[in-house]
Amino acid sequence: MSNVVDSSGWLEYFAGSRAAAFFAPAIEDIARLIVPSITILEVFKRVLVTRGEADALIAAAQMQQGKVVDLDQFLAMEAAGLGVELKLPLADSVVLATARRHGATLWTQDTDFENIPGVRFVAKK
């Protein structure tokens, strides 16, 4: 089974936090890693603001080792439907739609995803 890690998971991993160990198996299994392009946007922006361009470019390059999935019109409509059905913010609905399209497990600590089938959730400490 493939894996999708949401932005919060990537940020924990790059920060080396205690939660990084939860996300490491999914992130480090490059052969099964699916990366929604919107997570690159979110992570790049956050790292750019907090740690600078050099670190942001390194983070984006590591993320791109997985299979990057761009947001096309069909995925956008799937995401919109999930957003309405599950009351998810835009980026979260795109991440979940991407995971579902690829039959992937979604790894997260975002409470918006708690109790959704196909999601591996760990509470943020």
DSSP 55-101: HHHHHHHHHTTSEEE---HHHHHHHHHHHHHHT--HHHHHHHHHHHH
CA–CA separation, 73 vs 43, rounded Å?
23
- Give CA angle at 59 (11, 23), nearest 5°: 40
In 10 A of CB 76, how many CB atoms?
14
The pTM assigned to this predicted structure is: 0.95
**Residue 124 pLDDT grade (very low, low, confident, very high; cuts 50, 70, 90):** confident
pLDDT at 79: 98
Q: Which residues contact 116 (CB under 8 A, 6 or more apart)?
A: 86, 96, 106
Percentage, residues of the chain above pLDDT 90? 98
If you ran DSSP here, which 8-state letter would residue 35 be given? E
pLDDT mean across residues, the chain: 97
pLDDT at 125 over 80: no
Q: What would the pLDDT profile of 36-88 be if each residue is shown by its tens digit? A: 999 999 999 999 999 999 999 999 999 999 999 999 999 999 999 999 999 99
Q: Does domain 3-121 correspond to CATH entry 3.40.50.1010?
A: yes
* Whether 118 contacts 100, CB under 8 Å: yes
